[in-house]
């Protein structure tokens, strides 16, 4: 398989956020918003036009200049090199300034991808054959919560490693001894896990007394009661935290695969108390925790999850083992096409 033990082709069948709406709008230098992003090694241009947001290969089919260097005109994108203009509905060329009397070659069409905006994020799917959906976001849809979008960040690791780090229960007292965990208070636990349709893995983490802290409604750390984890295959996770003081906080994250060795994480910190309080402490506390993880995760060699024989697992690595098992099974399903991926994600099964 390509890219190590898992085949990165598989992730092309899934929706991934590629930028925030504000990142896209910030790319507007007076000629419309065109932003170049990379998803699974494919360079894309995200365009905000009169009819909405659309995603194309960042390549003009004429002489291969980057479309992101061009500009938006109403419902179309104009290439900066020779001015060919492409409609955003289907990417077809609708104007060639140097040949105004046509005909326009049939192959003059920018490659277009599925694109949607949800949770103020721009989502792209490179291959629609598995009929996958954009992941849910419980707190976003719940009016009792306030959700704050954190700054997205890029790490030199595969999305699967990044996600695994987010779901890991045993690293708190070592990597986060003064923030999430407490040095010397071990947290090895083997939670029950269940698999839900749409590729969701769920488990509850109930730490021993004093073992774990979490962000409270003011952005400070206070004792955690338990966390409900919902992994959304392949690279998303929601942490629904209930604190000892009864407050809830929800962390939502998706690690988008830029390529085989880099991922960009998009995340929200949500709270159901102190809704009028300042947001910044929530971002700052979370960023501090993330900074504790980055060196460890980027040091993992290789960046991709390797063959099981190349690493060692013990019982409390259950979450990681189950997650990897699901990723592997998805890659296996992909070999038989998108429909098989869809079947895998929508099949009811016994708890794992």
* 15 phi/psi in degrees, rounded to 5: -75, 140
Residue 112 interface partner, choices Fe ion, ligand FES, none, CB cut-off 5-8 Å depending on type: none
Q: What is the spatial distance between Cα 268 and Cα 252, in angstroms, rounded to a whole number? A: 5
Instruction: Name the residue among 192, 129, 133, 194 with its Cα closest to residue 348.
Output: 194
CA separation for the pair 205, 197 (Å, rounded): 21
For residues 59-86, b (16+ Cβ closer than 10 Å) or e, as one string? bbbbeebbbbebbbeeebbbbbeeebbb
Smallest gap, in angstroms, from Cβ of residue 258 to ligand FES?
25
Single out the residue of 293, 305, 317, 327 in contact with Fe ion (rule: CB under 5 A): 293
Out of ligand FES, Fe ion, none, what residue 8 binds, judged by CB under 5 to 8 A for its kind, is: none
Q: Pick from 1, 65, 69, 170 the residue near ligand FES by CB under 6 A.
A: 65
The residue number whose beta carbon is nearest to Fe ion equals 293
Nearer to ligand FES, 65 or 104 (CB): 65
Query: x-or-dash pattern for ligand FES, window 82-111, by CB under 6 A?
Result: xxx---------------------------
Please state the closest distance from residue 56 (CB atom) to ligand FES, in A. 12
Residue closer to Fe ion by CB (options 293, 303) is 293
User: If binding is defined by CB under 5 A, does position 164 make contact with Fe ion?
Assistant: no
Please state, as a whole number, how many other Cβ atoms lie within 10 Å of the Cβ of residue 32: 19
Residue 81 near which of Fe ion, ligand FES, none (CB within 5-8 Å, type-dependent): ligand FES
Residue 68 binds which entry of ligand FES, Fe ion, none, with Cβ cut-offs from 5 to 8 Å by kind? none
Q: What is the smallest separation between the CB atom of 165 and Fe ion, expressed in angstroms?
A: 6
Contact partner, 293, from ligand FES, Fe ion, none, Cβ < 5-8 Å per class? Fe ion
The nearer residue to ligand FES, 91 or 219, going by C-beta atoms, is: 91
Tokens of 176: 């986060």
Q: How far is the CB of 174 from Fe ion (least distance, A)?
A: 9
84 makes contact, choosing from Fe ion, ligand FES, none, with CB < 5 to 8 Å by partner type, with ligand FES
Identity of the residue, 82 or 225, whose beta carbon is nearer to ligand FES in the bound complex: 82
Total binding residues toward Fe ion, as defined by CB under 5 A: 1
Options 32-40, 48-56, 74-82, 134-142: segment touching ligand FES (CB under 6 A): 74-82
Contact criterion met (CB below 8 Å) for 16 and 235: yes
Count residues near ligand FES (CB under 6 A).
9
Q: How many CB atoms lie within 10 A of CB 182?
A: 20
Of 58 and 265, the one with the shorter C-beta distance to Fe ion is: 265
Are the CB atoms for 201 and 230 separated by under 8 Å? yes
In angstroms, give the least distance from the CB of 60 to ligand FES: 3
Name the residues that contact Fe ion, by CB under 5 A: 293
Name the residues that contact ligand FES, by CB under 6 A: 60, 62-63, 65, 79, 81-84
């Amino acid at each position: 398989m390509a890219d190590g033990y898992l085949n990165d082709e598989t992730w092309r069948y899934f929706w991934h956020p590629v930028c925030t709406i504000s990142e896209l709008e910030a790319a507007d230098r007076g000629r419309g918003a065109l932003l170049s992003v990379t998803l699974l090694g494919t360079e894309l241009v995200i365009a905000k036009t009169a009819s909405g947001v659309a995603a194309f290969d960042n390549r003009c089919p004429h002489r291969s200049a980057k479309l992101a260097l061009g500009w938006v005109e109403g419902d179309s994108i104009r290439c900066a090199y020779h001015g060919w203009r492409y409609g955003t509905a289907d990417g077809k060329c609708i104007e060639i300034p140097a040949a105004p009397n046509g005909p326009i070659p049939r192959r003059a069409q920018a490659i277009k991808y599925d694109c949607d905006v949800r949770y103020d994020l721009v989502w792209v799917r490179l291959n629609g054959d598995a009929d996958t959906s954009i992941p849910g976001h419980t707190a976003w849809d719940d009016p009792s919560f306030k959700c704050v979008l954190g700054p997205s960040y890029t790490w030199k690791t595969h999305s699967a490693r990044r996600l695994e780090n987010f779901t890991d229960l045993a690293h708190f007292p070592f990597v986060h001894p003064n923030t999430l965990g407490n040095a010397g208070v071990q947290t090895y636990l083997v939670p029950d896990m269940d698999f839900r349709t749409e590729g969701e893995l769920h488990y509850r983490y109930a730490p021993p007394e004093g073992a774990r802290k979490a962000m409270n409604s003011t952005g400070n750390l206070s004792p955690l009661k338990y966390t409900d984890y919902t992994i959304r295959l392949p690279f998303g996770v929601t942490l629904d935290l209930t604190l000892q003081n009864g407050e809830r906080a929800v962390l939502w994250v998706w690690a988008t695969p830029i390529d085989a060795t880099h991922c960009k994480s998009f995340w929200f910190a949500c709270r159901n108390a102190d809704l009028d309080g300042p947001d910044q402490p929530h971002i700052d506390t979370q960023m501090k925790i993330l900074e504790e993880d980055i060196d460890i995760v980027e040091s993992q060699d290789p960046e991709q999850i390797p063959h099981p024989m190349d690493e060692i697992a013990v019982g409390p690595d259950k979450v990681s083992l189950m997650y990897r098992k699901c990723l592997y099974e998805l890659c296996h399903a992909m070999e038989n096409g998108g429909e098989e991926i869809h079947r895998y994600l929508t099949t009811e099964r016994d708890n794992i």
